[in-house]
Amino acid sequence: MAQGKIFVGVGGWEFAPWRGRFYPAGLPQKRELEYASARFSAVEVNGTYYGLQKPGSYRHWFDETPDDYVFALKGTRFTTNRRVLAEAKSSIDRFFDSGVLELKHKLGPINWQFMATKVFQPDDFAAFLALLPHEIDGQAIRHAVEVRHASFDTADFVALARQHRVAIVLAGDSEFPSIDAVTADFAYVRIMGTTESEALGYSDQDIAGWAKRARHLSEGGRDVFLFVISGNKASNPDAAMAIRQALG
């Protein structure tokens, strides 16, 4: 059976506790993305959630990373924090007009993350999914939705995501609902259970388990994006590297 590509990484690359632990002591801060991208195959960018980036930033990220590296971007909160999602077209357009496509083939999925207070309203959410572009100027765009309210844990929501070819983010080791359903031609996994008590953030058993889960999700040619996020953030690079090693 064909296997898709498995991309493993962390959230961002600028975090002070990683300096001297993950990053070598004395490494210039401007080289941290270069260093991290040589050890992971992808990164989830959180800054795009809080504000639009400049085209030059995307061009710089593109130039600083290997040709097969991937940037998964958080969609802007000015879209997902709206009371009426059906009215989000203008903010979605602004997000993509801000220079996102400067990442070219390194542009990964867009993770549209919703607050834990956002309740599933089927008609409004369907209208939102219909607004998401799957192609811009000849470039394919992949979308994932990270929903964190229990009202989304229904067959209706899963069917809606599948209809629109949008992945549902699998929240692993988290307080949020873990909706384990394949709804797109890729899978998006965020695992949030690293702890200070484990040398690598996760136990060897857990690392092997998440590597096995990623392999399973990749069956049939499905790409998998797995990010070690939150938890004991200082340990996340260790856990991500261990999962990559377990994957071979």
Q: Indicate whether 172 pLDDT > 80.
A: yes
Among all chains, which residue has been given the structure tokens 């002591």?
25
Query: Cβ(189)–Cβ(224) under 8 Å?
Result: yes
pTM recorded for the entire structure: 0.97
Please state the domain extents for the chain: 6-247
Q: Which helix (H) or strand (E) holds 77?
A: helix 77-80
Residue-wise pLDDT for 62-80, tens only, equals: 999 999 999 999 999 999 9
Q: What is the spatial distance between Cα 231 and Cα 75, in angstroms, rounded to a whole number?
A: 22
227: left (phi over 0), alpha (psi -120 to 50) or beta: beta
Residue-wise pLDDT for 27-65, tens only, equals: 999 999 999 999 999 999 999 999 999 999 999 999 999
Residue-wise pLDDT for 10-29, tens only, equals: 999 999 999 999 999 999 99
Band of the pLDDT at 1, cuts 50, 70, 90? Answer: low
Q: What is the spatial distance between Cα 3 and Cα 146, in angstroms, rounded to a whole number?
A: 24
Tokens encoding 148? 């964190």
Q: Indicate whether 218 pLDDT > 70.
A: yes
In the prediction, which pLDDT does 2 show? Answer: 82
Q: What is the spatial distance between Cα 163 and Cα 25, in angstroms, rounded to a whole number?
A: 49
Sign of the Cα pseudo-torsion (166, 172, 176, 180, in order):
positive
Query: Cβ(184)–Cβ(165) under 8 Å?
Result: yes
Tokens encoding 20? 């001297």
Q: What is the spatial distance between Cα 192 and Cα 184, in angstroms, rounded to a whole number?
A: 22
- The third-level CATH classification (topology) of the domain covering 6-247 is TIM Barrel (3.20.20)
